[in-house]
Amino acid sequence: MFLDLTARRNSPLIRAAAQLHQSGVIPANTYVIDLDTVRDNAAAMAAEARRVGIRTYLMTKHYNRNPLVTHAALAAGLDSTVAVDVQCAQALRRFGLPLGHVGHLVQIPRHDLPAVLAQRPEVMTVFSVDNARLVSAAAQPLGVVQDILIRVRGRDDIIYPNEEGGVWEADLAAAATDIAALPGVRIAGVVTFPGTLFNPTSRKIEPTTNFATVLRAKDLLTSLGFEIEQVNTPGAGSTQGFEVVARNGGTVAEPGHGLTGTTPTHLYDDTAPERPAITYVSEVSHVFDGRAYVVGGGFYACDTPALIGDDRAFHTEAWRCMAFVGREPDRILDTKVPVDIGSFFGRTNNATDYYGGTLVPDTPADIRPGDSAVYGFRPQVFTTRAHVAVVDGLSTEARLLGLFDRANNLIDRDGLPMDNSTSRVREMIGTT
């Protein structure tokens, strides 16, 4: 997956992860994020977005909505954020960070709508007239009219499992007419996902059939008199794809893995401005019958071999489960061993990842309990029970800025939440 890429383009991150783990500064089951590289990646994406004339909403779920990372990315020039679910919105509110887009991919539950609307998101996605009614009803007592995006579906669109929903294109005119009569909302645009994807054959970002669907939807709504300000077409967002969005009529991209240099494009293109900024380190628990079992908790990757959308990019020689392992950080890159794929994606095989990323050396290797195991993959940290360590200064000496639990509490080395964690973080990022 992204292990070799990280070794080529950001090897200090791998060494720092091993060093921090071996020295006891961070525990096993920790994602380590290089904040300097995050800033560089965000600045590159912001500059490209400005060049082509689109806005950017940062997707924060991949790195567990970490406030230090989100703040750094916005400070580097990305426009705002997108909350994939209500928990993303709540994390932004907790740390005083702006909310640009909410409700896509997950509609906001009814009783959470007032609090989310009070954050004054720029836009909120609705999947149906009924969902729009709920938003309107919650907006009226607040005295606001919420701009909304309609998720439009075409019969040939790409839809990932468990992400179904939206207004069928054939029903759009009637749905828009009904929504327009609601006093608490205003139709401001259309949205889809994925709007662009990486093509492993051409090795380029290309528009999907979904993109064509929302363009037709925009034209239809415009013909009905609606002022369509936003055509939101997220998917594999990074510097390499923003021009594709703009050239084809999109107005907004929502980079997520672009921030950490872990899109399919980066797997194949070492010239991409974004470099890998995240890695996962855990610890060998025990060795049994020639296999080294690694402490689990964070083994979720969206590099799953599903042959849907940009998952196709991983059905190549580049898609290999490997890990660096050792107890000497300066030599961690010397030992790279295969990983059992079934253990890596254990939860998709109906198993709990008590252990995961099991090491299966194909040649003799000196692997012992307590060794660091460092992985490089495209994560969805918000789905895990992993820690997050934010570091900088890797070009000289790694410095830990904060160690967080899964709820984004600052924790001490014993894993206990620090007192006044929220206010401490707000002070760190200047949102007190």
Q: Considering the domain boundaries, does residue 368 fall inside one? A: yes
Give SS3 for 304: coil
236 and 380 share one domain: no
Q: Is the pLDDT of residue 213 over 90?
A: yes
Number of domains in the chain: 2
Q: Given pLDDT bands bounded at 50, 70 and 90, which one contains residue 316?
A: low
- Residue-wise pLDDT for 141-198, tens only, equals 999 999 999 999 999 999 998 999 999 999 999 999 999 999 999 999 999 999 999 9
Residue 329 lies in a domain: yes
Is 10 part of any domain? no
Q: What is the β-pairing status of strands 196-199 and 204-207? A: antiparallel
Residues 210 and 306 reside in one and the same domain: no
How much is the pLDDT for 432?
86
Alpha carbon 155 to chain centroid, angstroms: 27
Same domain, residue pair 175 and 301:
no
In a domain, 425, yes or no: yes
Same domain (yes/no): 282, 385: yes
Which has more pLDDT, 307 or 424? Answer: 424
Average pLDDT over every residue of 221-229: 98
Are 179 and 300 part of one and the same domain?
no
Task: Judge if 218 and 83 occupy the same domain.
Answer: yes
Indicate if 125 and 215 belong to the same structural domain: yes
pLDDT interval class at 306 (50, 70, 90): very low
| CATH number reported for the structural domain that contains residue 114 in this entry | 3.20.20.10
For residue 414, the enclosing domain spans: 278-429
Same domain, 225 and 286: no
Query: What does the pLDDT read at residue 308?
Result: 53
- Domain assignment present for residue 1? The answer is no
Q: Tally Cβ neighbours within 10 Å of residue 55.
A: 19
Q: How does pLDDT run across 248-305, given as a tens digit for each residue?
A: 999 999 999 999 999 999 988 999 999 999 999 999 999 999 999 999 999 875 544 4
Do 220 and 321 fall within a single domain?
Answer: no
Whether 372 shows a pLDDT value over 80: the answer reads: yes
Residues 6+ apart with CB under 8 A from 49: 55, 56, 78, 79, 242, 253
Return the pLDDT at 85. 98
pTM over 0.75: yes
For the record, the structure tokens of 4 come out as 């070799």
Provide the mean pLDDT of the chain.
94
- Of residues 345 and 131, the one with the higher pLDDT is 131
CA-wise closest residue to 283 among 62, 26, 5, 3 = 26
Residue 68 lies in a domain: no
Q: Kindly state whether residue 377 falls inside one of the protein's structural domains.
A: yes
- In this structure, are 238 and 141 located in the same domain? yes
